[in-house]
Amino acid sequence: MDHENKDLDLASLVDKVVREHGATPDSVIPILSEINRTLGYIPAGTLPEIRRRIQIPQEGVFLADSHVYSAASFYQMFSLKPLGRHVIRFCESAPCHVEGGRQVIEALQKELGLQPGETSQDQKWSLLTTSCLGVCSVGPVFLVDDDIFGNVTPERVPEILARYE
């Protein structure tokens, strides 16, 4: 797809999502969430498009591009760059660390050949870390896409990843 068509498609997507969620400042997070879910990430070009469509004064103040960017970059479940087909989100909270999380992340890094924040060259895997997944009682924990794996040991990592081959 050429650059102009890609921009047109992104603008159409933003139009559709803004119509569905409303053109209000309160709708920024649902809009970003829908775009992230649809594309797997939030392309930088969509941020000013979102802001332009939500140019509704709120107490005389207009949203700035930086407000939309801040929202998109703050939430760990959003990505501003393309990710792999399978996204691993590893919990690096203290409870998971105490239960052996360091050894599990090392096993993931070795198995995937990735450091946290990286995507494989074949675009199959992205390895991300997150502060907490909310299931501390079964740590160490990580997500693969929407599937959660708890009480993970380094020995289980290859078996879990093989499910996504």
pTM (2 decimals)?
A: 0.73
Pairing, β 118-119 against β 125-130: antiparallel
**Residue 79: inside a domain:** no
CATH number at residue 127: 3.40.30.10
How much of the chain is helix, strand and coil, in % rounded to 5? Answer: 50, 15, 35
Number of neighbouring beta carbons within 10 Å of residue 134: 10
Domains contained in the chain, number: 2
**Residue 67: inside a domain:** yes
| Torsion (CA) 30, 32, 38, 40 in degrees, nearest 10 | -130
> What residue numbers bound the domain in which 119 lies?
86-162
- Domain match, 101 and 35 both: no
- The tokens of 7 are what? 């921009």
**Residue 132: inside a domain:** yes
Residue-level pLDDT at 57: 54
Q: What is the pLDDT along the chain (165 residues), one digit of tens a residue?
A: 444 445 558 889 999 999 999 988 889 999 999 999 898 899 988 888 888 888 655 555 555 657 787 888 777 778 888 899 999 999 999 988 889 999 999 999 999 999 999 999 999 999 999 888 888 899 999 999 989 999 999 999 999 999 998
**Residue 10: inside a domain:** yes
Cα(66)–Cα(52) distance, integer angstroms: 12
